Amino acid sequence: MSDFNTSLNYEEEREEERTEREERFYLASQSQLIWWKFRRHRLAMIALPLLIFLYLLAIFADFFVPYNPETRFPAYLNAPPTKIHFFSKEGGFHRPFIYNLKRELNPNSFQLTFTEDHTKRYPIRFFIKGESYKLLGIFPTNVHLFGTEEAPIFLFGTDKLGRCLFSRTVYGARISLSIGLVGVFLSFILGVILGGISGYFGGTVDEIIQRTIDFLISIPGIPLWMALSASLPRDWSVVKTYFAITIILSLVGWCGLARVVRGKLLALREEDFVMAARLVGASEWRIITRHLLPSFASHLIVSITLSIPSMILGETALSFLGLGMRPPAISWGVLLQDAQQVIVVAQRPWQLMPAFFVIITVLLFNFLGDGLRDAVDPYAR
Amino acid sequence: MLYYIIRRIIIIIPLLLILSIVSFIIIQLPPGSFLDTYVSTLKLSGTEVSDAEIARLVKLYDLDKPLYVQYFTWIKNIVLYGDFGRSFQWNRPVSQLIGERIGLTMLISILTIFFTWVIAVPIGIYSALHQYSIFDYIFTFLGFIGLALPSFLVALLVVWGAFSTFGISVTGLFSAKFINAPWSWAKVIDMLKHIWVPMVIIGISGTAGLIRTMRANLLDELRKQYVITARAKGLPERRLIFKYPVRIAVNPLVSTIGWMLPGVVGGEVIVSIVLNIPTTGPLLYGALQSQDMYLAGSFIMILSTLTVIGTLISDILLAWLDPRVRYGGMRE
C-alpha cells in the first residue's frame, strides 16, 4: 500500500513538473523560445562568440596588432613567422620570449634565409608602448596589446616589403568583414522592397520582378562581377572602390532575399490577422510594417546570415585576382594577391595566413546561420 | 509536354535580349572608345593603321552612330555573320578566340556536375538513412567546410601541395608535348589525366550543397506514410528504399542543375585562372585586365547564354521526369 502511495506521489510530482515546464513554454515570448532553441545548437553557440571576437579584432585592430600595417622593416624582408619560446637554449624556463632573426645568404641556393640569433632573449611584453595611433579614430594612444622591445615580433612573418603580416591580416579584417555586412545591408534593402512589392501587390509587377530575379540568378555571377569591377576606374579612392564593389556584389545578392520575402508575404497575406487588420481599416503601409514584417523578420535574419559568406568570398576572389580592392587598401583578398604564384607559396607559405581567416569566418557564419535556421521555427519539432 | 517546352522557350527569349543589352553595356563601360584603344595598341606594337582600315572598322561596327544603333549593328553582326567584334589584344575576331575555348569550359562544367552527383547522391542517401550517426556528422561537417572553401584557394593549395610534396605541376590541361598538337586519341587520354584536378576542385562546394539537399529530401520522403505501408507489407528494406523514396528524392535534384550551373561556370572561370587551364577563364581575365571589351563582353554573353540554355534543358528534363511540374506549368 505504501509502495503504491509513493509511486503515486512521484507521478504527481512529475506531472506537476511537466506542467510547469509546459506553462513556461507557452508563456515564453517568441524571442525567448528562439533563444532556447538556438542555445541547443552547439556549433552555433561556439560560432557566435568567435564571430563577435573577430569583429572586435577588426574594430580595435590598432590595439591588437604590434605594428602599423604600412610600417616596413627593411632588414626583415620575407621573414618567416617569429617563433615564441619558453625555454632558453641553456634550458631555463622563462616568460614567453623571442630571439632576433639574422639574415644569411644560403651558400647552396643563394637565397636569403633567416636564422635565430641565440645570444640575447627579448621577452614579449603586454600593454607595451609602441607606435601611436587613434583608437576608434578618436582617442590618441600608443598602447598595444603585445610587442617586444628592439627585436621585432612577426607572428605571421613579413611580406616582400618587410611589413608585418599579422598586423596586415588583422587590419584586412576591417574591409573583409565589413564588406559582408554592408553588402548584405544593401541587398536587404533591395530585397525587402522589391520582394515586398512583388509579394504584396502581385500581378504584372510581380511577374516583372520575378523574371528579373530569374535572369539575375541564371547568369554566372563571378564572370559578371569580374567584368563590372574591372571597369571601375583605377584612380578611384579606396572608399569609392569599396562601395562600388559592395554594390556590384549585392546586385546579385538581393535575389535570394527577395524570394524569401515574397514567398512569406504570399503565405501571410491570406492569414486571418491580416484580414482583421484590413477590416479595422489599417492602411497598406501599416499592415506591411506593423503586421507582416515582424512575422517573418526571423526568417529574414537567417537568409541574411547565410548570404554574408558569399559576399566575403566574392570580395576575396575579386581582390585576389586584382579586380576588386587594390593596394593601398588592405583586405584578405588583397593580401592573398602576393600568394598568386606557386613559387611564392612554396617559399613563403605564411603568405596564405589570410586565407585561413577567410575560411574560418565563412565557416562560422555558416554555423551561425544553421543554428538560427533551426531556431526561428521554435514551434517546429 | 510540347506545350510546356514551347512555353519555356518563349520565356527565355526576353531573357537573352536583356543579356545582350547587359553585355553591350559592359563593352561600353570603360572610358575611351574601342577604336582609340585598338589603334593605340596597334601603334604600340609597331603596326601603322591606315585611315582606310579605320574607316572600314567604323563602318563595320557603326562606331560613328549613336549607341543604340551600335547595339543593333552589334546584334545584327552576331546573328547574321557570327561576328562578335574584334579583340585588339589578340588582333583576331572574338568568335575565333571564344570558339577555341568555350568547348573545354562546357566540358569541364558538365563533367563537374556529373562528378558532384556521383559523389553527393550516395553520401546524401547514406546520411539520411543513418541520420545522426558518426558518419552523418562527419559528412555534415565536411560539407560545411566544403561550402566555406573558396575554390580558387583550394586550387592554390592543391597546386602548392603537389609542387612541394611530389615536385609535380598540376597546372594546365595537357602535357607539354600535346599543347600544340592537333586533336588525337593520345591527346584526349592525356587530357583525361589532367582534367580531374579542376573537376574535383570546382565540384567541392557544389557537392557539399547537394549532399544537404539530397539528405533533406530523402528524410522528408522517409517520413511519409507509403514508406510505413510498404514496410508493414514486409517489403525488403533495401528494395523499399531504393525503389520508392530514393527515386522521388532524386527528382528535385534535376532542377538543382539550374542553380548549380551558374556557380559551376563561375567556379570554372576562376579556378582555370589559378590552374592556368586553356579555357575561357584566363582569356576573360586577360581581356578584363587590358580592357579588351569586345572580347570580355562577348564572353559574358556566351557564358550566360549557355548557362541559361543549360537551365532550360534541366527544367525540361525535370518536367519529363515529374508530371507534377508539367501540369503545374499548364495550369498557369
- Say whether B156 and A345 touch across the interface (CB within 8 A): yes
Most confident of A40-44, A311-315, B184-188: A311-315
Measure the CA–CA gap between B10 and A347, rounded to whole angstroms: 56
Query: Are residues A358 and A310 in contact, defined by beta-carbon separation less than 8 angstroms?
Result: no
Please report the residues numbered 26 through 55 in chain B whose beta carbons come closer than 8 angstroms to any beta carbon of chain A.
26, 29-31
Phi, psi of A331 (to 5 degrees): -140, 170
Alpha-carbon torsion angle B144, A169, A324, A184, nearest 10: 50
How confident is the model at residue B179, as a pLDDT? Answer: 66
Measure the CA–CA gap between A215 and A194, rounded to whole angstroms: 15
How confident is the model at residue B329, as a pLDDT? Answer: 44
CB atoms under 10 Å from CB of A275, counted, come to 11
Phi, psi of A61 (to 5 degrees): -55, -45
Q: What is the DSSP string of A76-111?
A: GTTPPPPPPEEE-TT--EEEEEEEEEEEEE-TTT--
Cell numbers describing residue A74: 627593411
A150-175, pLDDT tens digit by residue?
A: 777 887 888 878 788 888 888 888 88
Give one word for B12, left, alpha or beta, with left for phi > 0 and alpha for psi -120 to 50.
Answer: alpha
Q: What distances in angstroms separate CA A118 from CA A80, A97, A147, A311, one per listed residue?
A: 16, 11, 19, 46
CB atoms under 10 Å from CB of A37, counted, come to 18
Does B273 have pLDDT greater than 60? yes
Does A381 have pLDDT greater than 50? no
DSSP run (H or E) holding B323? helix B323-331
Question: Mean pLDDT throughout A191-211?
Answer: 80
Question: Mean pLDDT throughout A268-294?
Answer: 81
Query: Are residues A95 and A124 in contact, defined by beta-carbon separation less than 8 angstroms?
Result: yes
Provide the residue count of chain A.
381
Q: Does residue A203 sit at the B interface (CB-CB below 8 Å)?
A: no
- Say whether B303 and A223 touch across the interface (CB within 8 A): yes
Please report the residues numbered 192 through 231 in chain B whose beta carbons come closer than 8 angstroms to any beta carbon of chain A.
none
B288-331, pLDDT tens digit by residue?
A: 877 777 788 888 888 888 878 887 887 787 777 776 666 654 43
- Which residues are bridge partners to A141 per DSSP? A133
Per-residue confidence band for A375, with pLDDT thresholds at 50, 70 and 90 = confident
Taking alpha carbons only, the member of B192, B314, B298, B216 closest to residue B264 is B314
Cell numbers describing residue A228: 563590372
Per-residue confidence band for B47, with pLDDT thresholds at 50, 70 and 90 = low
- Which residues are bridge partners to A112 per DSSP? A105
Chosen from A231, A307, A311, A316 to mutate, greatest number of chain B CBs within 10 A: A231
- Which residues are bridge partners to A117 per DSSP? A100
For chain A, the straight-line distance linking the first and the last C-alpha, in angstroms and rounded, comes to 40
Please report the residues numbered 110 through 149 in chain B whose beta carbons come closer than 8 angstroms to any beta carbon of chain A.
144-145, 147-149
Query: Are residues B13 and B63 in contact, defined by beta-carbon separation less than 8 angstroms?
Result: no
Query: Are residues B194 and B174 in contact, defined by beta-carbon separation less than 8 angstroms?
Result: yes
Measure the CA–CA gap between A53 and B252, rounded to whole angstroms: 40
- Say whether B269 and A220 touch across the interface (CB within 8 A): yes
pTM (2 d.p.): 0.80
How confident is the model at residue A8, as a pLDDT? Answer: 57
Measure the CA–CA gap between B82 and B104, rounded to whole angstroms: 20
**Chain A positions in Cβ-Cβ contact with residue B31 (cut-off 8 Å):** 233
CB atoms under 10 Å from CB of B144, counted, come to 18
**Chain B positions in Cβ-Cβ contact with residue A321 (cut-off 8 Å):** 152, 270, 273, 285
A79-108, pLDDT tens digit by residue?
A: 778 777 777 777 777 777 777 777 777 777
Query: Which of A211, A231, A363 minimises the CB distance to B29?
Result: A231
Question: Which residue carries 509513493 as its cell?
Answer: A6
Question: Mean pLDDT throughout A3-26?
Answer: 65
CB atoms under 10 Å from CB of B232, counted, come to 8
Measure the CA–CA gap between A210 and A197, rounded to whole angstroms: 11
- Which residues are bridge partners to A279 per DSSP? none
Query: Are residues B140 and B127 in contact, defined by beta-carbon separation less than 8 angstroms?
Result: yes
Phi, psi of A71 (to 5 degrees): -65, 130
- Say whether B148 and A349 touch across the interface (CB within 8 A): no
Q: What is the largest CA-CA distance in chain A?
A: 95
Q: What distances in angstroms separate CA B28 from CA A90, A249, B34, one per listed residue?
A: 69, 20, 8
For chain B, the straight-line distance linking the first and the last C-alpha, in angstroms and rounded, comes to 14
Percent of chain A scoring above 70 in pLDDT: 92
DSSP run (H or E) holding B329? helix B323-331
User: What is the nearest CA distance from A350 to chain B, expressed in angstroms?
Assistant: 12
Cis peptide bond N-terminal to B150, omega within 30:
no
**Chain A positions in Cβ-Cβ contact with residue B14 (cut-off 8 Å):** 211
Cell numbers describing residue A170: 588583422
Phi, psi of A139 (to 5 degrees): -90, 115
How confident is the model at residue B331, as a pLDDT? Answer: 38
Say yes or no: ipTM exceeds 0.90: no
Query: Are residues A344 and A359 in contact, defined by beta-carbon separation less than 8 angstroms?
Result: no
Does A1 have pLDDT greater than 50? no
Question: Which residue carries 589570410 as its cell?
Answer: A354
B115-133, pLDDT tens digit by residue?
A: 888 888 888 888 888 877 8
Cell numbers describing residue B98: 571564344
Per-residue confidence band for B192, with pLDDT thresholds at 50, 70 and 90 = confident
- Which residues are bridge partners to A115 per DSSP? A102
Phi, psi of B238 (to 5 degrees): -60, -45
Measure the CA–CA gap between A267 and B62, rounded to whole angstroms: 52
Does A193 have pLDDT greater than 80? yes
Provide the residue count of chain B.
332
The SS3 of residue B92 is strand
Please report the residues numbered 242 through 261 in chain B whose beta carbons come closer than 8 angstroms to any beta carbon of chain A.
258-259, 261
Give one word for B91, left, alpha or beta, with left for phi > 0 and alpha for psi -120 to 50.
Answer: left
How confident is the model at residue B319, as a pLDDT? Answer: 76
How confident is the model at residue B332, as a pLDDT? Answer: 34
Spacing of C-alpha A364 from chain mean position: 8
Percent of chain A scoring above 90 in pLDDT: 1
| Chain A residue with minimum CA distance to B164 | A346
User: What is the nearest CA distance from B184 to chain A, expressed in angstroms?
Assistant: 31
Q: Does residue A45 sit at the B interface (CB-CB below 8 Å)?
A: no
How confident is the model at residue A66, as a pLDDT? Answer: 80
Q: How many CA atoms lie within 13 A of A102 on its CB side?
A: 9
Measure the CA–CA gap between A372 and A379, rounded to whole angstroms: 14
Q: Where are the alpha helices (DSSP H) in chain A?
A: 2-27, 30-39, 42-59, 61-64, 165-201, 203-218, 221-230, 238-268, 272-280, 284-286, 293-320, 332-336, 342-347, 353-376
Does A131 have pLDDT greater than 60? yes
Per-residue confidence band for B259, with pLDDT thresholds at 50, 70 and 90 = low
**Chain A positions in Cβ-Cβ contact with residue B258 (cut-off 8 Å):** 218
